[in-house]
Structure 1
Amino acid sequence: MFTGLKLTNFKAWQDTGIVNLKPVTMLLGTNSSGKSTLIQSLLLLKQTVRSPDRSIHLNLGGDEVNDLFNFGEFDDVLHQGFVGDRQFSLSFTFLSPESSRIDNGTFFCSYGQNSAGGVAIQEWRVGTNEQQFKSIRREKGAYSLTVDKEIQPRAKGRHICPERSVSLSAEAIVALGQDGAVLEDLSLAIRRELENIIYLGPLRRKPERDYVWNKSNPGEMGSDGHRAIDVLLASALIKGDDQNRIIEGVSKWLVRMKVADKLEVKQVGRSTRYELVVHRDGVEANLRDVGIGISQVLPVLTIAYFAPSGSTIILEEPEIHLHPLAQSVLAELFVEVSKERNVQFIVESHSEHLFRRMQTLIARQSIKPQDAAMYFVEREGSVARLRSLELDDFGRVQNWPESFFGDALGETREQARLMFTRQQESQA
């Protein structure tokens, strides 16, 4: 689980400060304020560790099939009002699962440009509570490697350059002697933490009328949720102890949202094609024939049960096309599934209903304030600012940003005033 994040000179952010991440973290804010950039920073590192090129420093994207985002060039990422050198940095902290040899870890990397205009790591630091490793770029692309507070480097040269931002070469590991095994375990833990990110974006595919199932369980759902149906088909059709677990979990939440009574997979005649059928009030309908809200929330519900234990699920606008009650129930989904399945949710949203229900869940003690983090992102000119919303034990916000969700009481007062004025005019 990610426990902290910090960006400097990265796109809209001059300096985020330390962003504490919890089992359920919500990001609120105005359009184009910088919320998505916080999410994209982790996805940038994820697509870097997945790159087939071991020597790459940072994969800014461009491969439409394999990359999550295309960040453009170095100057597109560098904050326009950068402070100091032409560098930006990404750092995070994390807790590893009990099965890992590493309990917790830290990652820091700053990036500049090389002579060819490409991205080059300037300083790389990773560590645990017990040990710290540092690789710094020197002249002509050579790096020096130190451990803890040692003054003399353990090794120097081009071969000390970090690979894919998260690990060092075999030669560098050998140069560390007995400490090399610690760094290998730490690099593996960092890589796994990034690989365990599952991302669902705000734009999701519309459903088809029926689907061909290839008799396998997909390894991922896609950032637009296009493999969610494959996951549901596999859940219903693959025999075993896990059969129907995901589709039953999805059905449960559709019921709680009051948008369906059940979701069912049905074979189309005797063909190899299958359809998703939505049951509601005694009526069966193909997924294609029901409101768009159900098809758009299906990937959100599916990913909550599809993600392996220990994953970090990043969601952008999960509430899209949902009515207010269903938006509220999403907060309950995040809280309950996070506890039941040991997954972390980082959610970017504009939904007042989702946020208000999170406040209620804190007041009910369904989730402790220390297990939930709420942030409001706003712009001051070209610079993004982050406000940590302070919630008490009753879910009340102590430092609420003015007018973000509108002025509900003010609207009510204005309506009452107009009603009173009209009544007086009609009696005159």
Structure 2
Amino acid sequence: MFKRIKLENFKAWRNSGDVNFSPVTLLLGENSTGKSSLLQSLLLMKQTATSPDRSIHLNLGGDEVNDYVDMGSFDDLLIKDPKSRTVSIEMDVVGKKSRSFLKVNYKQDSKKSPVIDLLQLSNDGQDWYRAQRSDKGAFNIYLPNEIRTSLKSREYSPERGVSFSKDAIYSMGPTGSEVEDISLSIIRELEAVSYLGPLRSKPRRTYIWNRTRPGIIGVDGGEAVFALLASNNVSGKKSDGLVEAVSKWLKKMRIADKLEVKPIGAGNYNILVHRDGVAANLIDVGTGVSQVLPVLVLAYFAPEKSTIILEEPEIHLHPLAQSLLAELFLEVSSERGVQFIVETHSEHLFRRMQTLVATKKAEPEQCALYFVEREDSDAVLKTLKMDKYGRINEWPKNFFGDATGEVRKQAKETMQRMKAERASQ
């Protein structure tokens, strides 16, 4: 689970401060304020840590098949008018046995490629192992509290943005294994990140399935139906109950009564949506069903204790269905240990989270709420603290509109018009 991230000079973030994550974290804000950049920083580190190129320092993306984000060049990554041409990313993760801490600073080399200037790793956030860039591409390795070292070599160049090199670890002696464990813990958490973007794939009338289970759902949710097909093909105790779980939430959201996987021969399948006694093909029902389907599938398809990053899970959903996403996230988080980091514009989702706390169905610490806004060209993070009654201490001004003001204005205009109409009669 991710516990914290901090960004400096990263796109819109001159200094994000500590962004502390909970089992469910909601990011709100107007368009183009910097919400997506926070999510991109995690995806950037994921695609770097999982890169097939061990020697890479930062994978800015560009591979449409394997990468999650395309950050362009190092200059595209930098905030506007930076005081220092250094991008800094910090993160803390909680693994199975311990908490691990990472701090990494990036600069450009002579070829304008992003390279690590300083990589720091710790298992307590106080004592840091450091790989410091020196001259001619060499790196110095420092143990906690050291200011001098004899460990210097070009072979000590860090790997995949989060790890000391094998040569550096070997040269550190007995402490090398501890440093390696810290990196492995961070890599495992990054590997376990699943991402679903705001642009989902269109449904098909017929699906041709090769009888294999997909490894991922895909950033557009294009593999969600194949996950359902694979689940439906397994019966008895081995079944993961994916179709049943998705059907349950579709019914709660009043979108459908259930989902059915129907074989039509020769490896072809239809996805049928049942509602009010009528079964219709997925492509023939409202857009909301096909757009929320990957969200529901991913919630149960992602491995237990992994992290799911979602952008606008509420698209094309009616207000009740949007609000029930809050219940989905909390229930799956509690039952499966899955962490949700969600960028949303949905007032209904946000309000339901408050209601769940107010009715004692959730605790305030289960959900972190943030509002992102702009001060000039810089993104600024505002923590929305929720008390045990679900109340927010400082509500974002006019972000969800002024419902009370609209009702007041409507009533006033109605009274004036009715008065004028009576006077003219």
Listed as ranges, the matches of 1:271-290 within 5 Å are 271-290=266-285
The SS at the match of 2:101 is strand
1:365 corresponds to: 360
C-alpha distance in 2 between matches for 1:381 and 1:104: 36
C-alpha distance in 2 between matches for 1:201 and 1:31: 15
1:259 corresponds to: 255
Q: Deviations over 1:351-378 (max 9, x none)?
A: 0011000110111122211121000001
Structure 1 length as normaliser, TM-score? 0.97
C-alpha distance in 2 between matches for 1:364 and 1:288: 38
Q: Deviations over 1:334-390 (max 9, x none)?
A: 011100000000000000011000110111122211121000001111100100001
Kept in 1: contact 2:127–2:145 (CA 8 A):
no
Q: Residue type matched to 1:56 in 2?
A: I
Q: Deviations over 1:175-202 (max 9, x none)?
A: 1111111111111111001011100000
C-alpha distance in 1 between matches for 2:241 and 2:155: 48
C-alpha distance in 2 between matches for 1:244 and 1:53: 35
**Number of positions where the alignment pairs a residue of Structure 1 with one of Structure 2:** 422
Listed as ranges, the matches of 1:12-411 within 5 Å are 12-83=12-83, 85-97=84-96, 100=97, 103-129=98-124, 131-153=127-149, 155-243=151-239, 245-268=241-264, 270-411=265-406
Identify which range, 307-316 or 361-370, moves more after superposition: 361-370
RMSD (CA atoms): 1.1
Q: Residue type matched to 2:390 in 1?
A: G
Kept in 2: contact 1:296–1:320 (CA 8 A):
yes
Structure 1 residue 260 displacement after superposition: 0.4
Structure 2 length as normaliser, TM-score? 0.98
C-alpha distance in 1 between matches for 2:44 and 2:205: 35
Q: Deviations over 1:88-115 (max 9, x none)?
A: 1111111112xx4xx1011110100001
Q: Residue type matched to 2:92 in 1?
A: T
Structure 2: where are the runs of 5+ without partners?
none
The SS at the match of 2:254 is coil
Kept in 1: contact 2:3–2:22 (CA 8 A):
yes
Structure 1 residue 244 displacement after superposition: 5.3
Q: Which runs of 4+ in 1 moved over 4 A?
A: none
C-alpha distance in 2 between matches for 1:45 and 1:154: 30
Identify which range, 371-380 or 35-44, moves more after superposition: 371-380
Q: Deviations over 1:2-32 (max 9, x none)?
A: 0101000000000000011000000000000
C-alpha distance in 1 between matches for 2:369 and 2:14: 20
CA 1:246–1:363: 2 relative to 1, 3 Å: same
Identify which range, 47-56 or 322-331, moves more after superposition: 47-56
Q: Residue type matched to 1:88 in 2?
A: V
Kept in 2: contact 1:154–1:176 (CA 8 A):
no
The SS at the match of 1:366 is coil
C-alpha distance in 1 between matches for 2:203 and 2:367: 33
Q: Residue type matched to 1:292 in 2?
A: T
Q: Residue type matched to 1:96 in 2?
A: G
Listed as ranges, the matches of 1:408-427 within 5 Å are 408-427=403-422
Q: Percent identity?
A: 54
Q: Residue type matched to 2:176 in 1?
A: G
C-alpha distance in 1 between matches for 2:245 and 2:324: 14
1:2 aligns with 2:5: no
Kept in 1: contact 2:131–2:164 (CA 8 A):
no
Structure 1 residue 81 displacement after superposition: 2.4
